[in-house]
Amino acid sequence: MTPEPSTRVAAYDCGTNSLRLLIADVVDGRLVDVVRELDVVRLGQGVDRTGRFDDEALERTFASAERFAALCREHGVEREHVRFAATSATRDASNRDEFIRRITEIVGVAPEVITGDEEAGLSFVGAASTAPERDGLTLVVDLGGGSTELVLGADELVSAFSMDVGSVRMTERHVHSDPPTSDEVEAARRDVRAALDEALRTVDVSRTATIVGVAGTITTVTAHALGLERYDSAAIDGSELSLEAVLTACDELSVMPRAERAARAYIHPGRVDVVPAGAMIWAEVLRRVRTEGAAIGGGIGSVVTSEHDILDGLALSLA
């Protein structure tokens, strides 16, 4: 049988904290990576407080987009095979028209300001493309800078909810000390618990058989739990750790002094300031999923981490 020809695609994921690019060949419905790039641009800087994009944050994002667009040209990606998705911060910014206009000029396609539900669905597709095959439902948790998506499904999506809690948003709202104080930690966790109360009216996490965490906060927590000296994508992707090991890592990172975080080579410099709040969010989600499952005689005992997320979902959608 003659193999299907491949299609080269490019997907941009513009979140609250980072701009990422994936150039990949789609072969027989699967992705073969050509380029994966990440720039921490902190586009959502101050958006939770002001409701608009900061001018310096926009310039950082535009400069990164120009670099990524040059990579797309270098690797021969056709414009019709490019997709640019903007998520939480762009949904919230009053001056997003300026962002959309300039990105369209740089990239050659208009950015899509996707809804929380769309973000959740794409994250599930990306994570599920490489997640372990098991009986029962999988809960994918995509913990971003401005929002956190909970997506429950198996062969198809069952339910999803996007919570307005993320590592950047919670840092700006609650974390002002080094290291975070017990009052700051509790205030952030209280916000997350309130968001989970609302989310669980839609997503019945008690049915979770497998939990898969994606995105930078979660991969960083996993690197800490694994005891890595530097970030190792191959070691992190697909790793499965006990729930207690992950919770311990979350609690340690939540109160780790900034200088110590900055000295850890597995923490991206652009995440050093927001990792504590992200770890607080991840811990609250995991504890709640465990509690809800235990209430019906189940509950999770381990956590899977995936390097595949909304970016992979976007790329696969272009096929």
What pLDDT band is residue 3 in, cutting at 50, 70 and 90?
Answer: very low
CA distances to 11, 180, 289 from 140, in Å: 20, 28, 12
Query: Residue 15 in contact with residue 145, Cβ under 8 Å?
Result: yes
Strands 240-242 and 302-306: antiparallel
Structure-block tokens of residue 106: 């740089």
Give 48-93 pLDDT, tens digit per residue. 788 888 999 999 999 999 999 999 999 999 999 999 998 766 777 8
Domain ranges of the chain: 7-114, 132-311
CATH of 132-311, one of 3.40.50.2000, 3.30.420.150, 3.30.70.260, 3.40.50.300: 3.30.420.150
- Write down the CATH number for the domain with range 7-114: 3.30.420.40
Interhelix angle for 167-174 vs 275-294, to 10°? 110
What pLDDT band is residue 30 in, cutting at 50, 70 and 90?
Answer: confident
What's the pLDDT at 154? 86
Query: Residue 212 in contact with residue 125, Cβ under 8 Å?
Result: no
Q: Which residue has the tokens 């911060």?
A: 89
Angle CA 159–212–191, to nearest 5: 70
Structure-block tokens of residue 123: 């994250």
Look at residue 10 and give its three-state secondary structure: strand
pTM above 0.85, yes or no: no
Q: Tell me what the pLDDT averaged over the chain comes to.
A: 90
What's the pLDDT at 5? 65
CA distances to 187, 223, 265, 281, 308 from 227, in Å: 29, 6, 11, 21, 21
Give 203-262 pLDDT, tens digit per residue. 999 999 899 999 889 999 999 999 999 999 999 999 999 999 999 999 999 999 999 999
Tally helices (H) and strands (E) across the chain. Answer: 13, 11
Query: Residue 167 in contact with residue 281, Cβ under 8 Å?
Result: yes
What pLDDT band is residue 123 in, cutting at 50, 70 and 90?
Answer: confident
Question: What whole-number distance in Å separates Cα of residue 16 and Cα of residue 22?
Answer: 18
Two domains, one topology: 7-114 and 132-311: yes
Q: Strand 137-143: give its sheet, edge to edge.
A: 157-163, 148-153, 137-143, 208-214, 302-306, 240-242
Q: Which residue has the tokens 């994966």?
A: 36
What's the pLDDT at 2? 41
Structure-block tokens of residue 240: 């499965």
User: Is-cis flag, bond preceding 269, omega within 30?
Assistant: no
**Selection from 90, 132, 79 nearest residue 113 by Cα:** 90
What's the pLDDT at 92? 73
Question: What whole-number distance in Å separates Cα of residue 259 and Cα of residue 292?
Answer: 37
Q: Is the pLDDT of residue 135 over 80?
A: no
Q: Is the pLDDT of residue 295 over 90?
A: no
Q: Which residue has the higher pLDDT, 147 or 155?
A: 147
Q: Is the pLDDT of residue 275 over 70?
A: yes
Angle CA 198–251–47, to nearest 5: 50
